[in-house]
Amino acid sequence: MEQQVQTDLRIGPLLKKMELVKGDQLEELLQLNRTTDLPVGSVLVMSGEISDRILRTAVQAQSMLKDGLASEDQIVNAIQVVKNQGVSLHAALKQVRWSRDNEVKSSTLGELLQASKLVDQLKLTKALATSQSSMLPLGRVLVLTNALSRPLLLSTLDIQTKIRNGQLSREHAISQLCSLRDRIKMVEYNLSTRASTQKRGPELRIGELLVESGIISTSDLLTALEMSVQGDRRVGEILMDFDWISEQKLNAALELQKLVACRVMTKEAAIRALSHMHKAEDSFDKCVARETSPETKHQRDITQDEFLRLAGVLTGVPVSQLVSLSERQHVMVQERDSDETKVFDQAEEKQVIQAAETLREAIRDGHLNLDQSMIVMSYCLRGRMAVVEAIRQLGWTVPIKL
């Protein structure tokens, strides 16, 4: 058991152990990961190193390792079977003589959220489908679609880690999440009652910024919010009274909040700046300058072929050649899972290419980031809908050029 805890279970090193990527390739792709802000696995798919089906299988295997459902040797051997024979992970595990220990329960994020009812079941089902088709982590999809707050996601992931490390039983963990859910509901109700007589608050709340940057915990924030509602005091003042935050960091968070409101920085950049200031103890000006410099703000333009690979759409020839092919077999397909593949006809191909180009333009114009565009593309592919309709269903307000 000790050996499993010490094993590096990050997806990059795991893919290397599974012989799905070489060491030098991984280093190059990690650099690309930093310029696109995409998960390492998605970068691998975008670059054409592995297919989205293989990535989904690897992520599934990673989850099994974290939950202790299989050994590292069993997973590595099973992945080779998947690679060579194209079967599902479950079928491959059977071939390597794996059998499930019924005493060991999995604790995936989806299972924990479902058991604690932190997310509405319909929203969770949609998010799971979007996560699978977009290859974005479930937590990221839930936050981007406003189904779960970032602080609550961080708390749930922290509790999940404690379960997997043997620090909490699954039952106790779910009980903690339920208590957290009830506290949040009460705080949100009290805040909404008070907000009905006040003007709309800022886009990035101070509490969210402080939790995301690792300065305070979600529990600390809830305590401060509860006291704020009862005593009509500011959250920041309460956090300082408890000595949970220094005046310097509170002032830095307030300044970052203004920069986000003025569109000088994104939420993500503000969180990174405050986190670096907290951990590395750099000056506020230095942390802000790094996040707002042209080098940091630059994101490599994603080609049309890379975008489609990232969306799980595979083409037999470069996309630029599709429009010039008149008599041919269908060359654009979408791998949904190990035993189902969607083949597009020419009319559908045109719609897919148009959606991809619209979303790439939205990224270049700064209206969407790459994660958000992948979620929109997932809706377009699953529902056979236009970009505008997908954005409407997501409840977003994005200026899209038609």
Q: Are 117 and 91 members of one domain?
A: no
Q: Are 209 and 190 members of one domain?
A: no
Number of domains making up the chain: 4
Q: Are 327 and 357 members of one domain?
A: yes
Number of CB atoms found within 10 A of residue 297's CB: 12
Sign of the alpha-carbon dihedral angle for 50, 302, 300, 262: negative
Q: Are 110 and 151 members of one domain?
A: yes
33: containing domain: 2-95
Domain-located, residue 21: yes
What pLDDT digit, counting tens, does each position of 356-392 carry? 999 998 888 878 888 889 999 999 988 889 999 999 9
∠ at Cα 377 (371, 382), nearest 5°? 130
pLDDT band at 193 (very low <50, low <70, confident <90, very high): low
Q: Are 112 and 77 members of one domain?
A: no
* CA dist., res. 244 & res. 216, Å (int): 7
* CA dist., res. 390 & res. 388, Å (int): 5
Residue 341 has pLDDT above 70, yes or no: no
Residue 262 has pLDDT above 80, yes or no: yes
Last residue of a domain, which of 95, 129, 145? 95
Tell me the C-alpha to C-alpha distance, in Å, between residue 250 and each of 265, 288, 398.
Answer: 18, 15, 32
The secondary structure of 347-396 as a DSSP string is HHHHHHHHHHHHHHHHHHTTSS-HHHHHHHHHHHHHHT--HHHHHHHHT-
Q: Are 246 and 265 members of one domain?
A: yes
Domain-located, residue 400: no
Looking at residue 156, its pLDDT comes to 92
DSSP run (H or E) holding 315: strand 313-315
Q: Looking at the chain, how many residues does it have?
A: 402
Looking at residue 134, its pLDDT comes to 82
Domain-located, residue 402: no
Residue 327 has pLDDT above 90, yes or no: no
Domain-located, residue 399: no
User: Tokens 């809830």 correspond to what residue?
Assistant: 222
Higher pLDDT: 29 or 85? It is: 85
Looking at residue 338, its pLDDT comes to 43
Q: Are 170 and 231 members of one domain?
A: no
User: Tokens 């990221």 correspond to what residue?
Assistant: 140
* CA dist., res. 249 & res. 264, Å (int): 19
Residue 336 has pLDDT above 70, yes or no: no
Looking at residue 113, its pLDDT comes to 94
Neighbour-count burial of 352, counting CB atoms closer than 10 A to its CB (0-12 exposed, 13-18 middle, 19+ buried): buried
* CA dist., res. 89 & res. 134, Å (int): 20
Q: Are 214 and 196 members of one domain?
A: no
Looking at residue 1, its pLDDT comes to 37
Q: Are 290 and 313 members of one domain?
A: no
What pLDDT digit, counting tens, does each position of 200-249 carry? 545 678 888 998 888 998 888 888 888 887 777 888 999 999 999 999 99
What pLDDT digit, counting tens, does each position of 265-304 carry? 888 889 889 998 998 888 899 988 888 776 555 455 778 8
Flag whether the pTM goes above 0.85: no
Average pLDDT, the chain: 81
Number of CB atoms found within 10 A of residue 60's CB: 15
Q: Are 290 and 312 members of one domain?
A: no
Q: Are 129 and 192 members of one domain?
A: yes
Last residue of a domain, which of 166, 200, 234? 200
Q: Which residues pair with 341 in a beta bridge?
A: 335
Looking at residue 369, its pLDDT comes to 83
* CA dist., res. 31 & res. 24, Å (int): 11
pLDDT, average across residues 139-146: 90
What pLDDT digit, counting tens, does each position of 22-49 carry? 767 777 766 666 666 667 777 777 777 7
